[in-house]
Structure 1
Amino acid sequence: MTSLLYDLEHVTVRTVSVSDMDNNVYLITAKDSGQQVLIDAADDLPAIRALLAEGASDAQRPAKLSLVATTHQHWDHVRALEALVAETGARTAAGRQDVSGIPVPVDVVLDHGDIGHFDGFDLAAVHLRGHTPGSIAYVLEDGEAPHLIFSGDSLFPGGVGNTQKDPDRFALLIADVTERLFGVYPDDAVVLPGHGKSTTLGAERPHLEEWKARGW
């Protein structure tokens, strides 16, 4: 099965599912420069190596993994991070409030609204509190294509992420998702979560009040 999700004007986006928890690892590759960003080095270093090689075939120049961006600190999203960084020398990024839970030094400490400029694309950091204190969604825009929202465990088809039945954490997460994702990006924006299948903001928007009412 091909790892290719999107073949856009300036970049490709590939993915592989790893571990028994069905973690999604995503790879963005700039076609012209070969610059790559990997989102969530969750597990299975050999599978990630294969993903990087497949992405490299999309580029006109030799590919280089520039950054490993982590959506949040939970163990199932970082199991291959230390080994990948040791092997590639890539820099790392994570949300400020989650840095202490990341198993490697974090080179780029992210706050809400930060923009990462790469040779061929930009990534916006959207801070979504609640699932973890420092969860970050990464948003890619490429020309006329829909926005791609790498949402980690903060937004899925059918609801927001797990807040362990804590009403205060749920209130934070639903407010941030409503304001910072649904309030900013259009209905055709694609949500690429940390586990499972994708969705769009348009498909989920009609259910926001239902989610608020049920409390999860």
Structure 2
Amino acid sequence: MIGKVVTSGTFSLDGGTWEVDNNVWIVGSAEEVVVIDAAHDAEAILAAVGGRRIKAIVCTHAHNDHINAAGALVDATGATVRLHPGDDVLWRMEYGRERTYAPLADGETLTVGGIRLEVLHTPGHAPGAVCLHAPDLGTVFTGDTLFQGGPGATGRSYSSFEVIIDSIRKRLLSLPPETVVRTGHGPETTIGAEAPHLEEWIARGY
């Protein structure tokens, strides 16, 4: 039901560029899937999808390293890109007006292969950042909102430390502690493992 492809490329913002490895999540059934965060390498993603139908390409946010393979996936499959409109300014940095997306809304439920994905708007790392909670699978796909060891970076344009902490506290730490956190970069963790460290993150200005 859940697959992962790790792709490599660059993240660019505010005049800087960094080498990154991204987790691309593929969620669904033997017939259809959604791709969460189409990063860097459309061919690798298509190989992992196999012959299944891509119902949607869902973006946890629109930093270029999370969307730069979305255009090629759309061209190859005709799938629709879904993105919270709060990240329109970041989307346009990568695609201008040439490509469009269908807006995601907080509280919306996506269904693919019998799996429910509940959209949680979690701004902070980016204005339109979302997490996708799959309660029946006991997991949440957090993009760059929450990692093993702390929140996503907030030192660049369109980000806010105070906002991301509020998002994590209200939207993520309220999930069951056994919920597996599947991140946009790096290893998995659980809500229960991260919850005790909230005040430490705040004190450190993580």
TM range (shorter): 0.7 to 0.9
Corresponding residue number in structure 2 for 1:95 = 84
Of residues 105, 113, 124, the one that matches 2:100 is: 105
CA-to-aligned-CA distance 1:121-168 (integer Å, 9 cap, x gap): 1111111111110001111122xx4x21110111001100111089x8
Give the aligned residue type for 2:119.
A
Structure 1: state its 5+ residue gaps: 1-11, 57-62
Corresponding residue number in structure 2 for 1:78 = 67
Corresponding residue number in structure 2 for 1:198 = 188
| C-alpha separation in 1, matches of 2:7 and 2:197 | 29
> Would you say the 8 A contact 2:28–2:115 is kept in 1?
no
Corresponding residue number in structure 1 for 2:29 = 30
Corresponding residue number in structure 2 for 1:172 = 163
Q: Which SS does the other structure have where 1:49 is aligned?
A: helix
| C-alpha separation in 2, matches of 1:165 and 1:68 | 25
CA-to-aligned-CA distance 1:72-111 (integer Å, 9 cap, x gap): 111111111101001100011111201343233112x122
Aligned pairs (5 A) from 1:143-154: 145=137, 147-154=138-145
Q: Which SS does the other structure have where 2:160 is aligned?
A: helix
RMSD value over aligned CA atoms? 1.6
| C-alpha separation in 1, matches of 2:169 and 2:24 | 25
Does residue 47 of the first structure (1) align with residue 54 of the second (2)?
no
How far residue 118 of structure 1 moved from its aligned partner, in angstroms, is: 3.2
Q: Which runs of 4+ in 1 moved over 6 A?
A: none
Corresponding residue number in structure 2 for 1:155 = 146
| C-alpha separation in 2, matches of 1:118 and 1:45 | 20
Structure 2: state its 5+ residue gaps: 10-19
**Identical residues among aligned pairs (%):** 38
Give the aligned residue type for 2:108.
D
> Would you say the 8 A contact 2:33–2:113 is kept in 1?
no
Corresponding residue number in structure 2 for 1:59 = none
Q: How many residues align?
A: 189
| C-alpha separation in 1, matches of 2:149 and 2:70 | 29
Give the aligned residue type for 1:126.
L
Corresponding residue number in structure 2 for 1:5 = none
Structure 2 length as normaliser, TM-score? 0.86
| C-alpha separation in 1, matches of 2:143 and 2:28 | 19
> Would you say the 8 A contact 1:99–1:106 is kept in 2?
no
| C-alpha separation in 1, matches of 2:48 and 2:202 | 37
